[in-house]
Structure formats: structure tokens, C-alpha cells
A and B are shown apart, each in its own frame.
Chain A
Amino acid sequence: MSVSPKDIKHVANLARLDITQTEIENHTLTLSRILDLVDQMQDIDTDGVEPMSHPKDAGLRMRADKVTETNQREAFQQIAPDVEQGLYLVPKVLD
């Protein structure tokens, strides 16, 4: 299966990656090669097989609905690129 430069641009946008023209060309080549490898999966019949998302089909555990975490806003925001008055700052979204 090969991908086109147009596919690459679309996927890069979904993944929120800015890519240059050279990168588009490189990704088009390498992703096509990787997808060729991945396409070997299609040789095996998996009709009726249940998909397995975790080893031993482990599901997520339930816990009691009670507060277990304390507020650590200051510690967490100390490592943020830009904060003011306890809020994370980002470029303006709405005018």
C-alpha cells in the first residue's frame, strides 16, 4: 500500500505536526515502505477472531468514587511554559 503526498499532509495535520516539503517527500517514501511491511497482516485470515486490546484481556479496574488526590496546582504549574494567576496561558482562541 502506498501513500500520496496529499495523504501525508492530511495525516500530519491530524497529528498536529508542521512538515516541510522535504519531510513530505521523505514520509511519503518511508511510510509507504512501512505500510508494505504492515500489509503482510492481510495474508492471514482473521475472520471470527475477537480483537485483543490487552494481554490476558485485562480490563480497567473500578475504584470507589472518592477523592484520593490533593490539590497540587502550584507544584504542577511550576513546570509549565506560561502561567498567570493559576491559569495556563495559550494564544488567544476567540476574538
Chain B
Amino acid sequence: MPHSKTLAELAAGLRAGDFSSEELTRHFLSRIEQHTELNALITVDAEKALVTAREQDQRLSSDETGELTGIPLLHKDIFCTQGMLTTCGSRMLSNFASPYDATVVNRLKQAGSIILGKTNMDEFAMGSSNETSYYGPVKNPWNPKVVPGGSSGGSAAAVAARLSPFATGTDTGGSIRQPAALCGITGLKPSYGRVSRYGIVAFASSLDQAGPLTISAEDAAIVLNAIAGFDEQDSTSVDALAPDYTATLNNDLSGLKIGLPKEFFSEGVDDEVATLIDQAIKEYEKMGAHLIDVDLPNSNVGIPCYYVIAPAEASSNLSRFDGVRYGYRADEYDDMIDMFKKTRSQGFGEEVKRRIMIGTYALSSGYYDAYYIKAQKLRRLIAEDFERAFEKCDVLMGPTAPTTAFEQGAKIQDPVAMYLNDIFTNSVNLAGLPAISVPAGFDASGLPAGLHIIGRYFDEARILNVAHRYQIETDWHRRIPQGFKQ
């Protein structure tokens, strides 16, 4: 069945003529139709997908092809797509059709991929369980009672259920890696500045980064090849050449120095998850890697620091939603200020309003130094901790999330408990580093856990290489949940 293949295998199949892009597109569209119970998608555009697939079949027969030519994909509904709704999981943008494409969308189109639709997500990417979406929660294909993680929960669930060969996501504090871990797939957050943010609905501009959710690390390298690189439309895009990320995937790992921060193996980690991560690290030892103990002494303030900086930037970014130029506007109001207030109160959901409130408070007169400036100072200490650790090792490893997926409703009433899910991921965003989550096995209840591999700044090639070699030795990433194999 084509859906059990990786992107790399599908690309080879297309070129060998085993199936056409149109056949592939129809196959995935019918899977999407069969599995609406997951609620992983907000928008499907079958008609346009099939037209594009036929165009790509022409290209495939004329040999002007790349690895993504004719490959279907899903975009997280935070990427602006011309001629297709971009809701960001919010009532505020429920009627928003962007007049332009995001750079990531544009580059993947140029590479010949086919948009099947847009995936569900936590509203404005604020959440770790996909329960804050205006379009309802997404279910985890491994067990419909548990969450898929968030905020790219729809993308992760869709790839895990093989509704699409790959999907895009964004990661502000863990939103690609945590759902990838909870859904048993591969998720890559590139370095800040590596992939353009142009056309991505902004959450926290100094933390947001786009990346792929895929079956394998090799697939992530193929997608990163298409989307990485300078974009003058993004003012913080870094003007540096992106290497061919597939070229170094097979590099030998003997002598690799793996740093194990003791803070990543502390008491908060579930025993079963800890065991799975230990086993994964043993695989690396067998491949000739050395283990080194390192410290990230300020990592305990990563969460407090993140929950000042991210909401502060969000409260500023989300001030653009005023009901004047696009999006939702309240039906009834008295004057202009009342129109703003009613529009925003009706258009935003509870968690988004909560973060706007925290951010506004932290930036308000009298609190700015104690919260925002203090958090920015800690941000530097956290980034310096990573720099010191990387003097002694090539990559850092630990669990992506402290537990496997939790039950729907378990944490949604307790924001602090929800925030603690991202304890291992969000300090990586604060430092701007690249990191990947790869499937590392299952707990006793059959739920997947993720191994978190963090790299040096701009060293995506290394973490992809390290992830790929593990996936040669293991087959966790090839497991498909019951009910989605056929």
C-alpha cells in the first residue's frame, strides 16, 4: 500500500512509474475521507489537488523532476495559502482567505508537491494538546481517548495515520516535536532563521520556526532541502547557504559525542519513557558514540522565561486582529473601541485570551523590567548553557516530552500543568537551536515516546544524520497504528 511508504520511497515509485501522482493523490484523499473521525483536517481541496497532480504527472514524464515532484502534503492551517482558507484554528480567521502564499508554501509548490488540505491545530498555535482549536480537538490515531499533542496536532495525527506522506508544522515552544513524539512520527524544528517565517501567522516572532513532520529523518531532510534558505521577505532570515541535507545522512557515528544533560533525566520523567530513552541511547553506544554528562543549570527557569516572552510577543502580534481589515467582526457594537473589544472577545478562544492577558500584563507599565527584561536576561543565560554544553559534545539527547500522550480533558482546565509538557522543548526555542524528535518505542499501553536530539546552531545536517542512523537500526518510525494499516 502506498501509504505505508516513506516520502523517499514514494518519490522513487513515482519515478519508476509504479503509480502516477494522480493515483497517489486519489489514494491519500480517500484515506482523508475515510478517517474524518480524527478531526485532523480543517480544509480539504480535492479538486485543486487532482488538477495539480495531473500537471505534475506531465512534469514527471518530461524528466524535470525533483524528489517532491508529484508528492501530496498537508499544511498546518497557520501557513497562508492563496485561494484556500487559513484559519489558524480560530474563529477570528474562520473566513480568512489569504491574498498570498507563505514562502514555505510557495517553495514546496515550486518543488512540485500537491496540497491536499490544511490541518487542525491549537488556536493560534497556543496549546500542547490540540484541544484549544475552534474546530474541535484532534484525536491521536494510537488511541482516540488521548491527545495528539500540539500545537501541530492535526499535522502529526495525519502523518501518523498515513493520511499524507508528510505535513508542515510550526514550533514556537515544542509544537512540532511534542506532537511528533506523542504520535510516533519524526518532527524537525530547524534553527531560528533557517526557514522563512513569511506568510506564517505570527505567534512569538523571536521563537517561531517552521519545519516538517514526516515518517523518517530522511524524509525530513528532503523537505528541509526545499524550504531552507534565505528569504528577503523575512527580516530575520539568515543569509547563509543551506547544504544538501540528504548528502550527510549516512555519515558514520563512531566517535560521536552525545551530551546527556542531567536535567533531562530528572524526576519529572515517566519511568517507561526514561527506559525507552535509555535503550535508544544504548543503540548509539553500539554505533560507536560516546556519552558525556553535561549540565544545563538554568533549564529549570526555561518554562517561566518562555511563559513571559512568548505571551508578550503574542499579545503584541495579536493586536492586529481588530475586525477592520480582515477576519471576524462582531455583529453588534456601540463605538469603535467597543467594536474592537467585542470582535476580539468573540473571535478569540479562552487560552488565546489568557496568553494575551499574561503578555499584556508583563509588558505593562511598572512590570516591564521585572518580567519582560528579566526573562530576556534569563534567555541569554539559557542560551549560554547550551553553548557551554556544545563545547564538550556534538549533540544533546533526552526525552522530547516527560510522558506519552495524556487523556483528552486531563490538563485543559489547568494551564500550568499543560505548560509543563514543554519543559524539554521550549528552552531550545529560546536559544534558537535546531532539534528533532524521532520515535523511540512504545509504553505498556501502546503509546509512542520520542527521542529528542538537539544540535548546534545551524547544524541541522548533523541531527538529521544522527536521527537517520538510528532509524536504520530500528523500525519504530515504520509502525502504523491499528486501524490505519489498510
Contact = CB atoms under 8 A, between A and B. Distances in A.
B357 A46 contact: no
Contacts of B334: 91
A26 to B, nearest CB: 8
Given A56-B432, A79-B326, A18 B342 contact: yes
Nearest to B96: A79
Nearest to A8: B357
B357 A79 contact: no
Contacts of A33: 415-416
Given A15-B357, A16-B340, A50-B377, A38 B308 contact: yes
A41 B193 contact: no
A6 interface: no
A41 B236 contact: no
Contacts of B354: 27, 30-31, 34
Interface in A1-43: 3, 7-8, 11-12, 14-19, 27, 30-31, 33-35, 37-43
Interface residues of B, number: 73
Nearest to A14: B360
Given A8-B357, A91-B335, A49 B325 contact: no
Given A11-B364, A79-B97, A55 B193 contact: yes
A67 interface: no
Interface string B82-101: 00000000000001110100
Contacts of B232: 63
Contacts of A34: 307, 354, 358, 415-416, 419
Contacts of B432: 54-56
A38 B356 contact: no
Nearest to A47: B377
A86 interface: no
Contacts of B431: 55
Interface in B325-347: 325-329, 333-342, 344-345
B323 A81 contact: yes
B324 A80 contact: yes
A76 B307 contact: no
Nearest to B457: A56
B416 A37 contact: yes
Nearest to A90: B336
Most buried by A among B193, B308, B360, B431: B360
Given A7-B361, A79-B99, A41 B339 contact: no
Tier of interface size on chain A:
35 or more
Interface string A61-76: 1010000000010011
Given A14-B364, A79-B97, A52 B377 contact: yes
Nearest to A48: B377
Interface string B229-266: 00010011011000000000000000000000000000
B238 A58 contact: yes
A84 interface: no
B320 to A, nearest CB: 11
B403 interface: no
Contact of B206 (A54, A91, A93): A54
Interface stretch (B136-144, B283-291, B296-304): B296-304
Given A38-B308, A75-B99, A53 B376 contact: yes
A30 B354 CA distance: 8
Interface of B: 95-97, 99, 191-193, 206, 232, 235-236, 238-239, 298, 300-301, 303-305, 307-308, 315, 319, 322-329, 333-342, 344-345, 348, 353-354, 356-358, 360-362, 364, 370-371, 373-381, 383, 415-416, 419, 430-433, 457
Given A37-B304, A60-B235, 14 more contacts: A11-B360, A11-B364, A15-B315, A37-B419, A39-B304, A46-B381, A53-B376, A55-B433, A56-B432, A75-B99, A81-B328, A90-B324, A91-B335, A91-B339
Q: Please provide the 7 A-B residue pairs with the shortest distance between their CB atoms, ordered closest to farther.
A: A55-B432, A51-B376, A46-B377, A52-B380, A81-B329, A18-B341, A18-B345
